Amino acid sequence: MKTSRKRFVSLFLISGFAFLFIYNVVFRSAVRLIPESGESFMGTDSLTGWKSTVATILYPIKIVLAGPVLPLMNLPDPPPPFLVIGFALYWTILALVIHYLIGKIKRSQLKT
């Protein structure tokens, strides 16, 4: 199945924002895409039982998706579109790199 670059990046962006929103709905007390200024983005409220286990499993994914953008979260009062644009820019670059690597792997498999 061959996916165009634009479609792959679009799906990656939609999936990234959906992941952050669902993660914050399940593991935080406030329903928001991005936590308010001053709140820890990587931390969660005190968790019990299955939530603690699932949060531990998903933490590496959250680090890859949000880690490099964390310096933007430490700004005194950034406008919300600024953070969303920062995430979208980082995820676009990440999606293009992943798409390139997948294409390269597929091409090398076809040659053998």
- Averaged over successive runs of 10 residues, the pLDDT of the chain (112 residues) comes to 85 88 74 57 60 75 76 71 84 92 88 75
Residue 80: CB atoms within 10 A of its CB come to: 10
What pTM did the predictor assign?
Answer: 0.70
- Give 19-85 as a DSSP string: HHHHHHHHHSSS--SSPPTTS-SS--S---THHHHHHHHHHHHHHHHHGGGHHHHTSSS--HHHHHH
For residue 53, the model assigns a pLDDT of: 75
Whether the CB-CB separation of 102 and 5 falls below 8 Å is answered with: no
For residue 42, the model assigns a pLDDT of: 52
